[in-house]
Structure 1
Amino acid sequence: MLRLIDYFDGLAESDANADTVIRAAALLAECPAGARWPSGTVIRYDAAGRLLPAAAAPPGVSGAEPAVWLERAGDVDSLDSLVVARVRHCLRVAAARVPVAAPTGLDDPALLEVVLSEKQRRADRVRAMRLLGVDPGRPIRVLAVTGPGAVDAVRIVAGRVPVIRSAVVGAVTAVLIQEHLDGRELSDVLNSAVVHDFPACRRGASGPWVGMGERLAAPAAATSWEQARRALHFASSTWHGRRVIAYERLGSLALLGELPVGRLLGTSDVVRINEFAGTESGAVAVDTLEAFCVFGSLRRTAAELHLHHSTVAARIAQVEAVMGWDVDQALDRFTATLVLMVRRVALSSAELACTPDLADARRQGSDTRREDGPFPATGVG
């Protein structure tokens, strides 16, 4: 027992963070270990030291702050009780190391810009994190929120995961979270919530849009922020597009966000489909094809749109005639999906840029030769 106490005292004295302490407990006890804070944050590791998804504490776990447990079948012995006690002590020591914000001459948005800037020294970024109440020893994820309803979208995020800090940086609201959810899972939850509160119609959605960066080590917050802003290009203005996009979902598609908006809108396929979508019947047909590419079959598309499947087939045939496609053929179906994706990125980027001539291009589906970058500057490096 003395050796066990010495072991955890050594962790406490070594500035170990919460993840390190809980992982060490799981390895030592050879069973999953977890902790939950009053904020709702949960950290769990399995017996092999792998991060586990957040889950509710097992029945009978003490409500002490933080609540700590070992997920072992059967009765808990005295050694397990000692491990739990020492883990809780280490976590309290770790929490006490994060200082209360002191006067610095900088307000929260300015401190947040320091955290999100690669131009700042690492030591300055870490100090800014501590002043904001961010644990620099735990991974961080940054979200970028913009568009009408952005304030409400931040509230939606805060209602599902604990938000550490948020502030408007340039034209975009940056949101810092330190959670343990899978990015895909979290984006699905947030997307459903945003769509519920801000439903789209056939003419599109005016926002809000949310881009999610990857969950990275806290000193790499600037990278997560950049990813979040790039993901915004894919948070669609179109009827069937997603409003919340996680960067890790994009894979190779992220390359589309690197291209200038003018170049995307100027490609021949996008010009043709935008011209067709500029007519009333064409807009309906293109929307139907996009729904078909999303839902994958005529019958499901018809069910989702509350149409007969023959009506869906007729509308898709209109687009096929204009574009020279046959979506029953694998290559043409891939081309149609890619063109619609490029169009979606171009329209969303134009919406985000808030540039009059690009906004006109979005509304009219016309060509534009501007070589603007894919995203407006935000003032953060």
Structure 2
Amino acid sequence: MPTGDEQLRISELASDALSMFRGIAFFDGLSESAANADALVRSAALLAECPVGAQWASGTVIRYGALGDLLDDGCPATSTTSEPAVWVERGGTAEHPLDSLLLDRLQHALRVAVPRSATGPRLGHPGLLEVVLSDKERREDRVRAVGLLGLDSSRKVRALALSTTSSKDAVELVARICPGRLVHSVAVGNLTAVLLQDDSDDRRLAEDLHSAIVAEHPMAHTGADGARGPWVGIGDRMSVYAAPASWKQARRALRFASSTGYGRRAVSYGRLGSLELLAELPLKRLLNDPDAARINAIATSPAGEQEVATLEAYCVFGSLRRTAEEMHVHHSTVAARLAHLEAEMGWDLADPMDRFKATLVLMVRRVTLSSTELAASEVFGET
């Protein structure tokens, strides 16, 4: 069945003969792949770029949204008497010229597909994704879950771990950055797991997600309403049957994501390298590090918090003037804040060793802040 970047979109089609042929060929390909009823309706929704549903005389209803997300069993009134009934839900917007062709071909394909029972497993069901991500399940059970989810077993997958106060918004953000590549998502403890089948570069994916999060949530800290932007850990691309390993990596990378002012909101495991060794250290050991404890103590006062933020920006941007530009202050203000912090910490930032130490201490601080908040989210084994 068409998946990932191969997914046809109705916005790519007009009403000419070639577009009609492409639409027919799309559903013929689905039928030839022996796709089940769930996969057919989901693919039709991705094609239509709006919710699509189907209902059988038995009462079974399948509905999927524009992002391939499973919807509830709501069924709008429909006048068709054919079996099964199918519809698109454009929410009052104008019909596409190919909507009637889409519905006709979907209905034709569904007549030979076996609909699941009302109590049977469903494509996109959270329990199936948990089986795929869990290393505690038997391999044969994961193989079965992969098939039921409609995943292409010949393509690699990667897992993303999201920590967020709004799972729906975070998943939608990932979907916008990865158009056509979002496969499934599920709430796992206090995290949201996302599974992608994509070919994107680790660095590019992390940069795109970081930029999008910062654009939507410029304030790094938690707001007065308790909401904050998502943190994202990104696992490596692996065989679909190795998804548990990618999920573990994503959760480890998540400890390096941070809502501090100049921390990274999205971090890929593959780019951590030797920094990943910090994840091996117990949280208590990191919290008791003398330099990290001193930085945390300085940051408890408003002036100290500004100084620590300035140091973090300086370590990111590398010069007084660039730091001043990014923080919208005079470069002499940056110099004064750094000089005071150097005196407090006993550092000389002109010395490469002390500059490295400052960067490392800030990394340790971010890991401890993130790990403390994520402590209640450890699932499927140790993070």
Q: 1:288 aligns with which of 310, 315, 325?
A: 310
Match of 2:33 in 1: 96
Match of 1:321 in 2: 343
Q: Say whether residues 1:225 and 2:247 are aligned partners.
A: yes
Q: Secondary structure at the match of 2:177?
A: coil
1:342 and 1:241 map into 2 onto residues whose CA distance is 11
Q: 2:160 aligns with which of 138, 143, 162?
A: 143
Match of 2:127 in 1: 110
- Shift of the 65–130 alpha-carbon distance from structure 1 to 2, 3 Å rule, reads farther
- Shift of the 184–66 alpha-carbon distance from structure 1 to 2, 3 Å rule, reads farther
AA paired with 2:8?
Answer: P
1:150 and 1:100 map into 2 onto residues whose CA distance is 27
1:317 and 1:327 map into 2 onto residues whose CA distance is 9
- 2:134/2:380 contact within 8 Å kept: no
1:95 and 1:284 map into 2 onto residues whose CA distance is 62
- 1:236/1:344 contact within 8 Å kept: yes
Q: 1:190 aligns with which of 193, 198, 209?
A: 209
1:202 and 1:114 map into 2 onto residues whose CA distance is 34
Give 4+ residue runs of structure 1 displaced > 6 Å after superposition.
202-205
- 1:141/1:224 contact within 8 Å kept: yes
- Shift of the 170–379 alpha-carbon distance from structure 1 to 2, 3 Å rule, reads farther
Match of 1:378 in 2: 379
TM-score, structure 1 normalization: 0.69
Q: How many residues align?
A: 290
Q: Unaligned stretches of 5+ in structure 1?
A: 1-16, 20-34, 41-55, 57-61, 68-84, 355-375
2:143 and 2:268 map into 1 onto residues whose CA distance is 25
1:341 and 1:94 map into 2 onto residues whose CA distance is 52
1:240 and 1:66 map into 2 onto residues whose CA distance is 47
1:36 and 1:112 map into 2 onto residues whose CA distance is 22
1:203 and 1:133 map into 2 onto residues whose CA distance is 37
- 1:115/1:129 contact within 8 Å kept: yes
Q: 1:240 aligns with which of 252, 258, 262?
A: 262
Q: How does 1:139-288 map to 2 (within 5 A)?
A: 139-161=156-178, 162-201=181-220, 206-288=228-310
Match of 1:38 in 2: 8
- How far apart are residue 96 of structure 1 and its match? 1.1
2:291 and 2:361 map into 1 onto residues whose CA distance is 7
TM-score, structure 2 normalization: 0.69
1:97 and 1:256 map into 2 onto residues whose CA distance is 47
2:134 and 2:220 map into 1 onto residues whose CA distance is 37
1:310 and 1:95 map into 2 onto residues whose CA distance is 69
- How far apart are residue 121 of structure 1 and its match? 2.4
Moved more, 135-144 or 192-201: 192-201
- 1:18/1:138 contact within 8 Å kept: no
2:277 and 2:330 map into 1 onto residues whose CA distance is 37
- 2:164/2:170 contact within 8 Å kept: no
- How far apart are residue 324 of structure 1 and its match? 0.8
2:32 and 2:350 map into 1 onto residues whose CA distance is 59
- 2:206/2:268 contact within 8 Å kept: yes
Moved more, 242-251 or 98-107: 98-107
Moved more, 173-182 or 91-100: 91-100
- Shift of the 111–39 alpha-carbon distance from structure 1 to 2, 3 Å rule, reads farther
- 1:166/1:174 contact within 8 Å kept: yes
AA paired with 2:217?
Answer: F
- 1:18/1:94 contact within 8 Å kept: no
- How far apart are residue 201 of structure 1 and its match? 4.6
- 1:109/1:169 contact within 8 Å kept: no
- Shift of the 259–380 alpha-carbon distance from structure 1 to 2, 3 Å rule, reads closer
Match of 2:138 in 1: 121
AA paired with 2:210?
Answer: N
1:92 and 1:124 map into 2 onto residues whose CA distance is 27
- 2:262/2:312 contact within 8 Å kept: yes
- How far apart are residue 380 of structure 1 and its match? 6.3
1:224 and 1:294 map into 2 onto residues whose CA distance is 28
- Shift of the 100–203 alpha-carbon distance from structure 1 to 2, 3 Å rule, reads closer
- Shift of the 194–39 alpha-carbon distance from structure 1 to 2, 3 Å rule, reads farther
1:352 and 1:126 map into 2 onto residues whose CA distance is 30
- 1:98/1:135 contact within 8 Å kept: no
AA paired with 1:187?
Answer: A
1:234 and 1:99 map into 2 onto residues whose CA distance is 40
2:314 and 2:357 map into 1 onto residues whose CA distance is 13
- How far apart are residue 295 of structure 1 and its match? 0.9
Moved more, 255-264 or 128-137: 255-264
1:336 and 1:98 map into 2 onto residues whose CA distance is 55
AA paired with 1:223?
Answer: A
- How far apart are residue 239 of structure 1 and its match? 0.9
AA paired with 1:92?
Answer: G
- How far apart are residue 149 of structure 1 and its match? 2.6
1:160 and 1:273 map into 2 onto residues whose CA distance is 35
AA paired with 1:135?
Answer: D
- How far apart are residue 186 of structure 1 and its match? 1.1
